[in-house]
A = this chain, B = another copy of it.
Amino acid sequence: MSCDLSVEIAGLRFKNPILTASGTFGYGLEFASWFDLGRLGGICTKGLSLEPLEGNPPPRIVETHGGMLNSIGLQNIGVRAFVAEKLPKLRQFQTHIIANVFGSCFEEYLEVIRILNDAEGISAYELNISCPNVKAGGMEFGNDPDEAARLTEACKRIARRPIIVKLSPNAGDIVRVARAVEEAGADALSAINTILGLSVDIYTRRPRLATGMGGLSGPAIKPIALRMVYQITHAVRIPVIGIGGIATVEDALEFLIAGATAVQIGTANYYDPLASIKIIEGLKRFCEQHGITTIRSLIGSLQMNERLA
């Protein structure tokens, strides 16, 4: 007996709950020589901005115990080049393409969405709200519930496709931001983006990244991400896509059980380009072994026993 792995988010049916995370899967096509992209539940593109961005000076990455810090600086070819050069090939595959969108101000987010609105083959938009807001003095959109809500509302108003808001763990209170953007009309949430971190070269006495701090990702952050996803799913009604340190099928199952409707695979793609496919195969095997007929029966099935310390 084979298990139904499909899930639904914002009216979209995903053939399985395994998506790839923005910035860790290129524009998708880079992986086309590894496996049929049509096997994935979905692909979140590299973050797209209005104009091409060349990103930060090197060094841009550093390895840490169980993870890595990055400060790529959102390098991307720009939304127009994406639509013109990448999308036509990408939409050949039988999977959902989710365009990850960001800007340095309100209007830029909207402009990117307007351009994407006219393009074929995109299923949803994922707003990366953990970007420095140039107009607000570099403060991240994602840190302030009101800002995040306003942005969501504005995007929602013009978007022809569902809006997934991607939450930052660096927000003072991620649950408040989640509630605020839900109220503002977000169709779904994804969490978490990277956690702000620092690594120091003790010989040069400089940060190991050219920009100083960077975003922590990888297995090291899994327990924190899982906690936040649990908290968020219990605070909102819209579906939540879990992200953070997922490297094995067990990791993915933890997020689904904790309440995520789907998950995204990030850093694991780097050290194992087949990670997402191995996890999909692992899900099938797990369901078969445990007599699970639909993966949806697992979602949010965690029996929490909260006793205070």
**A residues with CB within 8 A of B:** 56-57, 64-67, 69, 71-74, 131-132, 138, 172-173, 195-200, 202, 205-207, 210-213, 216, 219-224, 226-227, 230, 245, 250, 253-254, 257-258, 286, 298, 301-309
Contact = CB atoms under 8 A, between A and B. Distances in A.
Contacts of A306: 211-213
A200 B65 contact: no
A66 B211 contact: no
Contact of A258 (B198, B250, B258): B198
B211 A224 contact: no
A202 B253 contact: yes
B202 A254 contact: yes
A148 to B, nearest CB: 15
Copies in the complex: 2
A66 B66 contact: yes
A220 B72 CA distance: 21
A197 B254 CA distance: 13
B219 A223 contact: no
Nearest to A223: B197
Given A66-B220, A195-B224, A196-B227, A73 B202 contact: no
B308 A211 contact: yes
A69 B226 CA distance: 12
Contacts of A258: 198, 200
A57 B305 CA distance: 11
B200 A254 contact: yes
A52 to B, nearest CB: 15
Residue among A73, A220, A222 with the most chain B CB within 10 A? A220
A207 B305 contact: yes
A72 to B, nearest CB: 8
Contact of A227 (B206, B213, B257): B213
A306 to B, nearest CB: 5
22 contacts: A56-B307, A65-B245, A66-B66, A67-B223, A172-B172, A196-B224, A197-B224, A198-B227, A199-B223, A199-B226, A200-B254, A206-B304, A206-B305, A207-B304, A210-B305, A210-B307, A211-B309, A213-B306, A216-B223, A219-B220, A220-B220, A220-B221
Given A219-B65, A302-B206, A197 B211 contact: no
A308 B250 CA distance: 36
Nearest to A247: B65
A213 to B, nearest CB: 6
Contacts of A309: 56, 71-74, 131-132, 211
Contacts of A210: 305, 307
B56 A250 contact: no
Of listed A74, A172, A173, A302, residue having the most chain B CB within 10 A: A302
